[in-house]
Chain A
Amino acid sequence: MSNIKSIVDIPTVNKIARLARLQIPEKNKQNLTNDLNNILEFVAQLNEVDTSNVEPLASVTGHKLPLRNDEVTDGNIEQLVLKNAPESSSGFFVVPKVIE
Chain B
Amino acid sequence: MSDLLNLDLSSAQKSLKNREISSVELTKAYLDAIEKTSSLGAYIDLQKDYALEMAKNSDKKINQGVAGPLEGIPIGVKDMFCTKDIKTTASSKILENFYPTYESTVTQNLWNDGAVMLGKLSCDEFAMGSSNETAAKGNVINPWSKTIPMSPGGSSGGSAAAVASRSALAATGTDTGGSIRQPAAFCGITGLKPTYGRCSRWGIVAFSSSLDQAGPLTRTVSDAAIMLNSMAGYDNKDSTSANLEMPDLTSYLDKSIKGKKIGIPKEYTQDGISEDIVSFYETSIQFLKDSGAEIIPVSLPHTKYALPVYYIIAPAEASSNLARYDGVRYGTRKEAESLDDMYELTRGEGFGDEVQRRIMIGTYVLSSGYYDAYYLKAQKVRRLIKEDFDNTFENVDFLLTPSTPSTAFELGQKQDPLTMYLNDIFTVPASLAGLPGISIPVGLDKAGLPVGIQLIANSFDEPNLISVAHTLEKSANFNVIAQGAAK
Contacts and interface: CB of A to CB of B under 8 A. Distances in A.
Interface of A: 1, 3-4, 6, 8, 12-13, 16-17, 19-25, 28, 32, 35-36, 38-40, 42-47, 49, 51, 54-63, 65-66, 68, 77, 80-81, 83-87, 93, 95-96, 98
Interface in B404-451: 416-418, 421, 432-434
B101 A80 contact: yes
B459 interface: yes
Contacts of B97: 84
Contacts of A60: 196, 210, 386, 432-434, 459
B23 interface: no
B428 to A, nearest CB: 13
Interface of B: 97-99, 101, 196-197, 210, 236, 239-240, 242-243, 302, 304-305, 307-309, 311-312, 319, 323, 326-333, 335-345, 347-349, 351, 353, 356-357, 359-364, 367, 369-370, 373-374, 376-384, 386, 416-418, 421, 432-434, 459
Contact of A17 (B327, B360, B416): B360
A59 to B, nearest CB: 6
Which 6 residue pairs across A and B have the least CB separation, nearest first? Answer: A23-B348, A60-B434, A56-B379, A84-B330, A57-B383, A86-B333
B338 A96 contact: yes
A86 B339 contact: no
B347 A23 contact: yes
Candidate in A42, A43, A45 with the most chain B CB atoms within 10 angstroms: A43
A5 B155 CA distance: 30
A44 B351 CA distance: 27
B429 to A, nearest CB: 12
A38 B418 contact: yes
A20 B196 contact: no
Contact of A96 (B336, B344, B377): B336
Contacts of B197: 61, 63
Given A22-B356, A36-B364, A61 B240 contact: yes
Nearest to B335: A96
Secondary structure at the B interface, as helix, strand, loop or mixed, is helix
A36 B365 CA distance: 11
B382 A57 contact: yes
Nearest to B326: A21
B454 to A, nearest CB: 18
Contacts of B344: 17, 21-23
A36 B309 CA distance: 15
Contacts of A16: 360, 363-364, 367
Nearest to A82: B329
Contacts of B356: 22, 24, 32
A22 to B, nearest CB: 5
A76 to B, nearest CB: 13
Given A23-B341, A86-B328, 7 more contacts: A20-B347, A35-B417, A46-B381, A47-B377, A57-B380, A63-B242, A83-B99
Contact of B331 (A47, A57, A84): A84
B380 A56 contact: yes
Contact of A86 (B327, B337, B363): B327
